[in-house]
Amino acid sequence: MSRHYPHPVIAREGWPFLVIGVVVAALLTWLGWAVLALLAWVVAAFVLQFFRDPARTIPDAPKAVLSPADGRIVKVENGRDPYLDRDALKISVFMNVFNVHSNRSPVDATVIGRWYHAGSFLNAALDKASLENERNALHLRTPAGQDVTCVQVAGLVARRILCYVDPGAALGRGERYGFIRFGSRVDVYLDPSARPKVAVGDKVFATETILAEFA
């Protein structure tokens, strides 16, 4: 099935940047400053592609944990969930500046907890970014009682994590809950019994790619 959002295919977070970029480019074009105008139009085109937010098709797989972001898998390992203090399967998705940066819920769930931590802005592809960078974590609980921790991590270029849900909110699979501006990472922590369906290096798409399945 498809999930439809109450906003256009360009994320609302991008409209101020896009309007400013187009106005500046149009003004430079009108003034006849060809080189600067060309550069401004290139910047406006980059902003347009960065803030795209297309609708996605949700797999018909009730035990699936869906990717919360577009990008590339940089980590699939058993480790420790620092938020729920438990052993966990950790899967990390790295987003570069050309990926869609809208973040979507990996499961049908209720938001149990939310934690925000200020931090550094290291390259989000690095392992230590999970614990040292600015980050926002959500504790999600599915109707079947499985706990999922979903962590937005700022990157080298990213300077703003946006999260629109608080404890008590209900999220559907594939539902948009946040956005990270300009390069970042999302970590997902699951019960160790979950079976991973991706490997390091795989390209994934938010909502459409299955990261793992609950046992």
Rounded CA-CA distance 213/109 in Å is 15
The set of catalytic residues is 184
135-141 and 109-117 as β-strands: parallel, antiparallel, unpaired?
A: antiparallel
Rounded CA-CA distance 8/12 in Å is 8
User: Which residues contact residue 98 at a Cβ distance below 8 angstroms, ignoring those fewer than 6 apart?
Assistant: 49, 50
What would the DSSP string read from start to end of 103-170? EE-SSSEEEEEEEEE--B---TTSTTHHHHB-EEEEEEE-TT--EEEEEEEE-SS--EEEE---TT-E
Rounded CA-CA distance 67/209 in Å is 6
Single-letter amino acid code for the residue at 118: A
Rounded CA-CA distance 125/138 in Å is 20
